[in-house]
Structure formats: C-alpha cells, structure tokens
Amino acid sequence: MSSSAPAHHMQTNDLVSAIRAKALWIRRRSFQMVYEAQQGHPGGDFSAADILATLYFGVLRFDPTRPNDPARDRFVMSKGHCTGAFYSVLAAAGYFPEAELSTYMLPLSRLNGHPNRNYLPGVETNTGPLGHGLPVATGIAIAGQIDGADFRTFVLTGDGELQEGSNWEAALTAAHRKLENLTLIIDRNRLQQGARTEETASLDPLDDKWRAFGWHVEIVDGHDHARLLDILSVSPKGRGKPLCVIANTFKGKGVSFMHDNVAWHHGVPNKEQYEQAMAELV
C-alpha cells in the first residue's frame, strides 16, 4: 500500500472502528432508501456493506472532487443491483450529497436501479446485467499494466453472478497477463435470486476453481472489517497473479429476520419490518 493510503493516517483500531460505523450507516441508509422506494435489493446491500465500507474508508485512494483522476484506484460494482449500498457508500465518500439518496429510483433521478457513470461521479462502468464487472475491470487493469501505472483495480461480484461465463473468460485473461494490480472480491452469501447457489448451479469448490485458473486466493469472513482491511491493503507488487478474495457473507446480515433469507434478495419492508430492522441496526 502506498504512503498516501488512508490506513496510515489512523491507528488501525481507530480505522476499524470508523469502518464499522460507516458500514452500519450504509445498512441504515440503504434500508431507508429501499423502504421509501419500495424497491431494491436489501439482502445483497447488507451482505456487501462491510466490504464496501472497508474499501472506501480503508483501502481505495480517490478524490471525490476529481472522479476522473487518471491515478485513482478503480472500484467496479459488478453486482449493480445492490445500488442501495453502493449509492450510500458513494455519498458517504463525498461523490454527491447524501440528501440525494432520497431520490432513489424516482423519475429522472440520477440514482437509477442500476448505476450509470454518465449521471453519477464515482461509477466506473454501467452494470446491471451480471458478469460484466470483472471483464471491464480486467481491461482497466491491463491499461494500468501497459502504462506501468500505480493504481489498483478492485471489483465486487456476487457469487450467483459467477454462473455467467463471461467471468471465466476474464479469469483466463487476467491470469494469463499476470494482472497483480487486479483484485476480485466475491460476496459469497450463497444465495441467488431464487435459491441457494449450491442448489442452483453449484460453485464449490470455489477457491480451487480460482486457483486452477491461476489466481491467488484468500478466504475471509466478509463481515470482519479488520481481516478485510489486512488482505485488501497488502501491496500487490511482486505477487505476479491477480487476487481473488472469497468473502464469506450472509445475505441480510445485520437484521434478524433477513439473515440468510432468500426472500430478502429483492424483498421490500413494510412499516413494521422497517421499524424493527432500524431498531436492530444500532
């Protein structure tokens, strides 16, 4: 990690506390967005919240006032349906005013159900259809490799999304080119829209698959901010391989009745559920 990285500006314990607070805020704010819009994907918002908070407040180097800075670290949100969490973290990171989150999915809002880079600073590529983020992130990393540039490229995919073959095309390309500047984080919540991944088109042994494709693999509790920070902050220089972080998570993490419950993939809360969830998210 370079000397400009935020991890060096704060004691690690303080940093982890700050990240934990941001993750809680992301869960609360994104759930409010889903409640008000009566649309969204709150289960995936919650499984990704800790990963996003760690990236934006502990790992990524960026300046929200210069979203197109060529030297910025890139983050690609491949699970583009989880815009509750993604827009919340972008607002918290300073890309646009937090008040704008209340326009989520309203007519003519910049906050579409899936992100659009032409409306919103901080979005690197338009996602929504699954299996698009890793291939585009691979191209970004190749540009950095050609230039010998210092920036890193991170991409967050769902796990069900790995059933899309385009990911495995990119897996081949990234390993062939030894893209050590590329980090894939898999939000391994084991639930896709309709059922468990392993009951639908099984992915396990997922770590062996990525190793066999030529990637360096780390397995981590995707809700453990300190461990995520450790793994994602390590300088990739000299690794000689792209990094795949399998982040074991729970869909709906943080709210008892949503925890590991497929109904909350795109379930929306009624008033009682909303109030109960907010009472638990403290």
| Residue ranges binding another protein (CB under 8 A) | 70, 74, 116-118, 124-129, 131-132, 135-144, 146-147, 149, 165-166, 169-170, 172-173, 176
Q: Nearest approach, Cβ of 18 to another protein (angstroms)?
A: 29
User: Least distance to another protein from the beta carbon of 197, Å?
Assistant: 21
Rounded to whole angstroms, how far apart are CA atoms 88 and 101? Answer: 7
What residues form DSSP beta bridges with 196?
191
- If the CB atoms of residues 30 and 78 are measured against another protein, the closer one turns out to be 78
Q: Which is nearer to another protein, 121 or 128 (CB)?
A: 128
Task: Find the length of the chain.
Answer: 282
CA distances to 71, 150, 155, 214 from 240, in Å: 21, 15, 18, 10
* Separation CA 180–CA 153 (nearest Å): 10
Give min distance, CB of 138 to another protein, in A. 6
Tell me the two tokens of residue 240: 């000689």
Q: Which is nearer to another protein, 6 or 128 (CB)?
A: 128
65 versus 118: smaller Cβ distance to another protein: 118
Q: How far is the CB of 167 from another protein (least distance, A)?
A: 9
Distance in Å, CB of 93 to another protein, minimum: 19
Structure tokens at 229: 């920070």
Residue (169 or 207) nearer to another protein, CB = 169
Q: Who contacts 47 (Cβ-Cβ below 8 Å, separation ≥6)?
A: 187, 189, 222, 249, 250, 251, 252, 253
Q: Nearer Cβ to another protein, position 64 or 267?
A: 64
Minimum distance, C-beta of residue 140 to another protein, in the bound complex (Å): 4
Q: Say how far apart CA 25 and CA 19 lie, in whole Å.
A: 10
Residues facing residue 217 across a β-bridge = 244
Rank residues 21 and 201 by Cβ distance to another protein and give the closer one.
201
Nearest to 241, CA basis, from 204, 271, 203, 211: 211
Over the range 188-214, which residues count as b (16 or more CB within 10 Å of their CB) and which as e? bbbbbeeeebeeeeebeebbebbeebe
Q: What single letter denotes the amino acid at residue 169?
A: E
Calculate the CA 213 to chain-centre distance.
22
Q: How far is the CB of 153 from another protein (least distance, A)?
A: 8
